[in-house]
Each structure stands twice: as structure tokens, then as C-alpha cells.
Amino acid sequence: MNQLEQLRQLTVVVADSGDIDAVRQLQPTDATTNPSLILQAGMQPQYQHLLVNALQQHRSDISAACEQVTVNVGAEILRHIPGRVSTEIDAHLSFNTAASVDSALRIIERYQAAGVPAERVLIKLAATWQGIRAAAQLEQQGIHCNLTLLFSLTQAKACADAGVTLISPFVGRILDWYKQQQPEQDFSGENDPGVQSVKRIYQYYKQHGIATVVMAASFRNVEQIRQLAGCDLLTIAPNLLQQLAADTAPLPPALQKPATRAVNTPAALGEADFLWQLNEDAMVSDKLAGGIRQFAADQRKLAQLLSSISCQ
């Protein structure tokens, strides 16, 4: 078997892409999208009809049309996978709990109007305090959530307290930060700080019997993926999936559940402690804020793209 086939025996493989053709070819179980991936898809000629359809439904409201595009792409992806798709709310809402909940409910309604049941959708929200609180409300309403832009055990603990379905700890962006700060350091293999972060989160969740599942994300190379084989899920870009499929070397499990569980239930993390711990970690503060800015910028570009089409 190639390494992709071996990986599928250890981990649920998820495609990190808005490219419907790539999803169709690679046949992952699930798929994830974000504003940057939606923008990339929207700029491809073969997906223009998904933008036109959104504008036909919401020509006088570009914001609603942007939301509809994410649903159109997600619904099309779901035609080619057996599992779920993650659809992200507008990054501009990352610090507004009520608006995040409202957006999530609208997205679910749009999916249902397209014939997609809510259980096939994960709502993606940034792992800010407000985003986590929104996820807690949504989970209570039976809407499952994927907390993204997650760079620390602190964020993971707060997500577990909120009862979210799934978290997406980022690997590559953590590595990017440390390489910039310490360019002379060897961060290969097990020394990769992004890999180490996911391993800490995974072990903490399993030791405490936490139901929230871990889907590592944001990979820069296949070695990071190999180092996390055995994680609950891995969401991987198409080019890295193709590299795994071309390699037939053995792929042993790298993550395993601990033999024993912790006796004590950890205390819930309050807002003040959450914010302080994020403030004390420069990497987390930088990457969370930067990720939100990047997604918000790509959301604005998508709105501009839709506006240009509507004027044609």
C-alpha cells in the first residue's frame, strides 16, 4: 500500500481544499474549507457558476452572496465525499458571539435549502473566546462545530469545556513562527513545534476522556503528517495527499491513546485565565490575530470578486 492508503487505516483523512475536482479525484472522507480556499476556488473558471448562482439569489446583498458561495462550494463537495464538510463563518465576526451564532444558523438554513442535512456540516469558527462561546451555544442546538486557528492547549481546553465536536490545531503556522524567530534551529521530525503542540493536545484529550476530536491541520510537508499518523483526523492539502500516494514506504502509527486515564476532571477555564494565557504566549497571540486578519482580507476579496461579476 502507498502511504495515503496506510494513513487511512490509522486516521480519518480529510481534504483541506475548496477545489472540487481535487476532492473528487482524491476521495477523502471529509473536507474542510476556509475563506482563503473559497476565494481560490471562486477565481477558477470551472467554478464561476457557483458564484453566479449566489448572486442570482442575493444580488442586492453581497454579504449574503458571499455566505451563499461558501454553501454552494460545500454542497458541491458533499456530492463527492461520504462524510462532512466544514464551512467557516466570516472572520470579521470572530469577536462577536451573537453575530457568529446568527451566521452559523443562516449557513445551516442555506444548506438545508440545498437539500443538505445539518449533520453533514461542521460550522468553523476561530478559537477566540467569543468564537468558543458561540460554538457552545450552537452545540446545544445540535449544530456541530469545528474550532479553527487553534495554536495552544489553552484554546483546546476551552473548546473541550464548551463541548465542541472537533478542533483543528494548526501545525504549519506554528512551525512558521518558530522558524522566523529561530532560523538556526533544527525543527525537523519530532523537533517540530507544531507537531509537538498537536501531540500535547491529543494526549491531554485522551487522558481526560474528552469527547472532542482532534483534526490536525495546516501542514507544510509530509513529514509533519507522518509524525501525526494516528491522530483522530488529519486535514491535508491535495498536493500533500498526492505526495503520500506516491510513497510506498511503511507508515507506522505515531500517536496512540494513553493506557490509563487521569482520575481528576480538569477545572473549567474562565475567560480571564483564557485571555491571560493567550497573552502570555507570543506565538499564539501573533498567529491567532494574523490568521483572522488573513481570512478577513480574503473574505473582502471574495466580496470584491462577486461585486465585479454583478456589474458585468
Residues annotated as catalytic are: 124
CA distance 296 to 173: 17
- Angle at the Cα of 194 (from 16 to 288), degrees rounded to 5? 75
Mapped onto helix, strand or coil, the DSSP state of residue 127 is coil
Q: What are the backbone dihedrals phi and psi of residue 196, each rounded to the nearest 5 degrees, phi first?
A: -60, -40
Residue 98 — φ and ψ, nearest 5°? Answer: -65, -45
Residues facing 148 on adjacent strands: 126
241 C-beta neighbours (distance < 10 Å), count:
26
CA distances 90 to 63, 75, 133, 212, Å, are 9, 18, 16, 23
